[in-house]
Structure 1
Amino acid sequence: MFAIERLRALHAVAGHGSIGAAARALHVTGSAISQQLAKLEREAGTPLLRKHGRGVLLTDAGTVLARHAGAVLAQLAQAEADVQAAAGSVVGQLSMVGFGTSIRALVARAAQELTDAYPALRVDLREMKPPSAMAALVAGDADLAIVEDYAGYPVGVPQNVIQVHLLDDPADVILPADHPLAGRDRVSFAEFGRERWISYSECTVCMDWLLHALRAHGHEPSPHHYASDEATQLAMVSAGLGIAVIPRLGRSPLPANVRAVPPDPAQVRRVYLAYREDSAARPAITAAIHTLTSFSG
């Protein structure tokens, strides 16, 4: 009989691609994952992993067992959801992941509301970029994920994942106060010629969306500066290094020498709550959906 925690370790390695990444996802040490996998190999009676450079790859047997592990873990999650639904109790652990500005503006307050309303529910919150958040959700490492896409540049939804629209988040063009267009009520991307653009360095979807929007208005942009968060981008604009497009949700206050001008047509980021179908019956999921939608309304 294979132990559940050992199957969980193998499933995490298969989903995340390395022992280190699996350890981070499961909040344990790499050595703990290695020990679980060594015991699982002894139980299986055959190697499940092989070394590949600095990482590991699954053997054929490991791939087969990882696939079964995913099915077993999904069935356990469904069983937990069904039992909690039958009891009608908002209990247990709820893992929520989301990008930084969503946590600042929305999710942190919702997590505290859930904790106050349901003392038997433990809410864990982690900051993650949207692609990593969705991957954690699909792998079973998170129960709820706050994700995004952009109007005109949608992102696909994995199978067995349900998305609930929370809000539309308009974006502004962020300009130095002395920029010729800073005093306008609205501005078209077509009016920006050879600007020095500041873009995201870690969120590929965000950067691709900016490039897509500029190309639609006849520009072939080449970002000069990169930053992974909005506060750093604001500081770059304030220093006169360039201009940026930044959504409003959770955005830091603008420096005194910076202006935000809405683009025409409007550029909108859509923010969603995502969860797995196999957990839909959990009262904790229902409570979280209700709380998050009420906070975002």
Structure 2
Amino acid sequence: MTFEPLIEEPFLLACRRDHPLAGHEKVSWAELADHRFVTVGRTSGNRLIMDLALARANVRPRSFFEVQHLSTSLGLVEAGLGVAALPRMALPAGPHPSIVTIPLIDPRVTRTVGVVRVSGSRRAPAAEQFYQMLLSRWRESPIHADAPTGKP
């Protein structure tokens, strides 16, 4: 198997516009200690990435809710039940009426998104065309740029 990285994307804090952290330019993971933190279950690859990065930094927000899907954590944030750390691609693409996103620091946690394939195999013509389309669209995508955070 080979893995071709496409992007390194950060985890961002999602909170309601009326949350005390909403006006911050950046939030450290340690600052989440006083807030209800929504996290994904232990079987999630995203959870593993966060747990490993935060263990190295000796930081761990206390989970208040544990959900199985990233979209569920966004629903809890939108309902005002807590804050969540999510990869950028799991967040609303444009401005959201009630949720803002804020960079999380100390440590900066990221995940790598890419394409996995069998080593030495040739793609079928349709698969190759899809792959080339994916690469060209991916490179043009605004997700590569530091997208606006949707702050109030």
Q: Give TM-score, length-normalised by structure 1.
A: 0.40
**Equivalent residue letter for 2:109:** Q
Equivalent of 1:290 in 117, 132, 137: 132
Query: One-letter code of the match for 1:187?
Result: V
Within a 5 Å distance, the mapping from 1:228-267 to structure 2 comes to 228-249=68-89, 251-252=91-92, 255-264=96-105, 265-267=107-109
How much does 1:217 deviate? 4.1
Greater strand fraction, Structure 1 or Structure 2? 2
Which shows bigger deviation, 285-294 or 269-278?
A: 285-294
Aligned partner of 1:181 in structure 2 is 21
Instruction: Pick from 39, 43, 68 the counterpart of residue 199 of structure 1.
Output: 39
Question: Could you say which residue in structure 1 is the equivalent of 2:115?
Answer: 273
Residues 1:194 and 1:216: Cα distance change in structure 2 (over 3 Å): farther
Q: Which has the higher helix share?
A: 1
Q: What is the CA–CA distance in structure 2 between the aligned matches of 1:189 and 1:294, rounded to whole Å?
A: 34
Larger radius of gyration: 1
Do the aligned residues in 2 keep the contact of 1:193 with 1:219 (CA within 8 Å)? no
The alpha carbon displacement at 1:281 in A equals: 5.3
Structure with the larger RCO, 1 or 2 (CA within 8 Å, 6+ apart) = 2
Where 1:174 maps in the other structure, the secondary structure is: strand
Deviation track 1:14-48 (CA, whole Å, cap 9, x = no partner) reads: xxxxxxxxxxxxxxxxxxxxxxxxxxxxxxxxxxx
Instruction: Look up the equivalent residue of 2:11 and give its one-letter code.
Output: A
Report 1:33-112 matches (<5 A).
none
Query: Letter of the aligned partner of 2:135 in structure 1?
Result: T
Counterpart amino acid of residue 272 in structure 1:
G
Q: Kindly state the Cα deviation for residue 205 of structure 1 after the two structures are TM-superposed.
A: 1.9
Counterparts of 1:219 and 1:267 in 2: how far apart (Å)? Answer: 12
RMSD in angstroms over aligned alpha carbons?
A: 2.6
- CA distance in 1: counterparts of 2:123 and 2:71, whole angstroms: 38
How many residue pairs match? The answer is: 137
Provide closer, same or farther for how the CA distance between residues 268 and 193 of structure 1 changes in structure 2, counting only shifts above 3 A.
same
Q: What TM-score does the superposition give when structure 2 sets the normalisation length?
A: 0.72
Give structure 2 stretches of 5+ with no counterpart.
140-152
Q: Which residue of 1 aligns with 2:4?
A: 164
CA contact (8 A) 1:211 1:221 kept: no
- Give runs of ≥4 in structure 1 deviating > 6 Å: none
SS state at 1:192 partner: helix
State the Cα distance separating 1:210 from its structure 2 match.
2.2
Structure 1 position 225, deviation (Å): 1.5
**CA 1:193–1:226 in 2, change beyond 3 Å: closer, same or farther?**
closer
